[in-house]
């Protein structure tokens, strides 16, 4: 079992230190070795938990890689851009998230009816299937909150095609254990492995590939030899890409932060001067099943770091607010602030965005505007996620 310790310090300073350690290998070394399943994974960045919650930003990571390696950083830059592609794609097709969540509940209902399926599911989650590689990855994931990207692909393929488990339950398993669990990247990556994202193209894990990439440590036996067609709705057409709102600098304003963006410096630098600040956390909204305490710890430390870094810029701090009564608590806070507008960083499609949507409706009844401010990076890139990644990449690489 490749125990990779979770980040001990979910802070921006720790993230910057990790970036500095990785940058020397972000060029040719990364391109050549990124798919290797080696202990410690020295050839990948392991920056994803920090990017996921924006303790680091994609723009600064891309800038650092290009400054050190120029065009030789293109493979790494492309991996960073995948995050914006997945988010933009899902923003224009939010029904895919809703369908996936419905699939999770349908899959859990199947477990209640099918004892054999339940046994397979529980063995897969516990890393007790007897499949070399897969079992260790399951234990790594639950024990550390981390899994190498290529291992995720192999894991998802074995889950779907060998174990014949519902892909939505696999996506849910990842989302409630990964420190970098992102609704868009996670959901759409699982759909891609299942052949639903790109029709006619799926990912089938091969024993010989796993053996090669693990330097011969694993040779999983009994893997599926063909990828069957996975039932699911086809991709809907792209709708309009959402746009962020603008606040009135002359009106009493409060700030609502959340786990999707814990570096709100850009709002303060743009002139936002809140007289009260609340923080929304929603880890338990990720899944109907228990969410890893590693995720909750990471978020708690990250929020503490955010409030320390910004200090007096976050006036009248309230929270973190979380749990079933979070929306009610935020409505009560909004009333107490006497603000007529509340600014919040734009939350991409997912659990946090769902709660903010409910809050928006409640605040409208109080005559309080909720303004979703979008980062320029997202505003520039998301509208280009209309088709596949190749077309997106052609446009995006010129914008960052």
Residue 80 and residue 26 share a domain: yes
Whole-model pTM: value is 0.95
Give yes or no for a contact between 348 and 357, defined as CB atoms under 8 angstroms apart.
Answer: no
> With bands split at pLDDT 50, 70 and 90, how would you rate the model's confidence at 2?
very low
Contacts of 380 (CB under 8 A, 6+ apart): 399, 400
Q: Which residue has the tokens 């070399």?
A: 132
> With bands split at pLDDT 50, 70 and 90, how would you rate the model's confidence at 152?
very high
Count of structural domains, the chain: 3
Burial-class residue 203 by CB neighbours within 10 Å (0-12, 13-18, 19+).
middle
**Which whole number is the average pLDDT over 201-216?**
96
CATH number assigned to the domain comprising residue 272: 3.40.50.620
How confident is the model at residue 319, as a pLDDT?
82
Cis peptide before 320 (omega within 30 of 0): yes
Q: At 161, list the tokens.
A: 């095609």
Q: At 236, list the tokens.
A: 């809907």
Query: How many Å apart are CA 185 and CA 80, to the nearest integer?
Result: 11
**Residue 15 pLDDT > 70:** yes
pLDDT, one tens digit per residue, over 31-41 is 999 999 998 88
Q: At 258, list the tokens.
A: 């959340």
pLDDT, one tens digit per residue, over 253-262 is 999 999 999 9
**Which whole number is the average pLDDT over 106-119?**
97
Query: How many Å apart are CA 74 and CA 226, to the nearest integer?
Result: 32
How confident is the model at residue 8, as a pLDDT?
53
The residue count of the chain comes to: 400
Query: How many Å apart are CA 178 and CA 58, to the nearest integer?
Result: 19
Residue 114 and residue 86 share a domain: no
**Which whole number is the average pLDDT over 168-192?**
98
Residue 104 falls inside a structural domain: yes
How confident is the model at residue 313, as a pLDDT?
82
Residue 303 and residue 198 share a domain: no
Residue 2 falls inside a structural domain: no
Pairing of the two strands 277-280 and 253-258: parallel
Q: At 146, list the tokens.
A: 């981390």
**Residue 121 pLDDT > 70:** yes
Sheet strands (E) in the chain: 253-258, 277-280, 317-321, 341-345, 369-373
Residue 81 and residue 119 share a domain: no
Sheet strands (E) in 109-252: none
How confident is the model at residue 311, as a pLDDT?
86
**Residue 221 pLDDT > 60:** yes
How confident is the model at residue 4, as a pLDDT?
43
How confident is the model at residue 48, as a pLDDT?
96
Phi then psi for residue 280, to 5 deg, are -105, 125
Query: How many Å apart are CA 121 and CA 175, to the nearest integer?
Result: 16
Domain that holds residue 135: 95-213
Share of the chain above pLDDT 70, in %: 98
């Amino acid at each position: 079992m490749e125990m990779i310790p979770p980040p001990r310090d979910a802070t921006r300073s720790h993230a910057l230190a990790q970036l500095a350690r990785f940058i020397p290998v972000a060029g040719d070394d990364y391109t050549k070795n990124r798919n290797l399943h080696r202990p410690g994974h020295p050839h990948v960045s392991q920056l994803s938990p920090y990017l996921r919650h924006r303790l680091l930003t994609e723009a600064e990571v891309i800038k650092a890689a290009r400054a050190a390696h120029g065009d030789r950083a293109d493979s790494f830059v492309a991996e960073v851009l995948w995050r914006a592609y997945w988010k933009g794609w899902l923003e224009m097709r939010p029904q895919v998230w809703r369908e996936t969540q419905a699939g999770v509940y349908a899959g859990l209902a199947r477990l209640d009816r099918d004892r054999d399926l339940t046994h397979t599911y529980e063995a897969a989650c516990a890393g007790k299937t007897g499949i070399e590689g897969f079992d260790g990855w399951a234990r790594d994931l639950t024990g550390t909150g981390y899994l190498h990207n290529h291992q995720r692909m192999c894991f998802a393929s074995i889950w779907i095609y060998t174990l014949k488990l519902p892909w939505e339950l696999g996506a849910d398993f990842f989302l409630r254990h990964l420190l970098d669990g992102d609704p868009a990247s996670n959901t759409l990556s699982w759909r891609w492995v299942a052949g639903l994202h790109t029709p006619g193209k799926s990912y089938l894990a091969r024993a010989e590939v796993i053996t090669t990439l693990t330097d011969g440590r694993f040779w999983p036996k009994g893997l599926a030899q063909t990828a069957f067609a996975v039932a699911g709705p086809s991709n809907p057409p792209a709708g309009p890409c959402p746009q962020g709102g603008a606040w009135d600098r002359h009106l009493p304003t409060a700030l609502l932060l959340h786990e999707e963006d814990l570096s709100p410096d850009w709002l303060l630098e743009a002139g936002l001067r809140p007289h009260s600040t609340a923080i929304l956390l929603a880890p338990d909204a990720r899944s109907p099943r228990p969410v890893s305490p590693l995720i909750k710890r990471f978020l708690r430390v990250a929020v503490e770091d955010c409030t320390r870094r910004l200090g007096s810029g976050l006036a009248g701090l309230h929270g973190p607010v979380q749990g079933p009564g979070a929306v009610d608590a935020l409505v009560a806070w909004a009333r107490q602030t006497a603000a007529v507008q509340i600014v919040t960083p734009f939350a991409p499609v997912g659990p946090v965005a769902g709660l903010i949507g409910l809050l928006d409706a409640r605040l409208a009844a109080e005559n309080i505007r909720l303004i979703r401010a979008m980062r320029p990076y997202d505003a520039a890139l998301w509208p280009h996620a209309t088709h596949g990644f190749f077309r997106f990449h052609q446009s995006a690489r010129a914008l960052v």
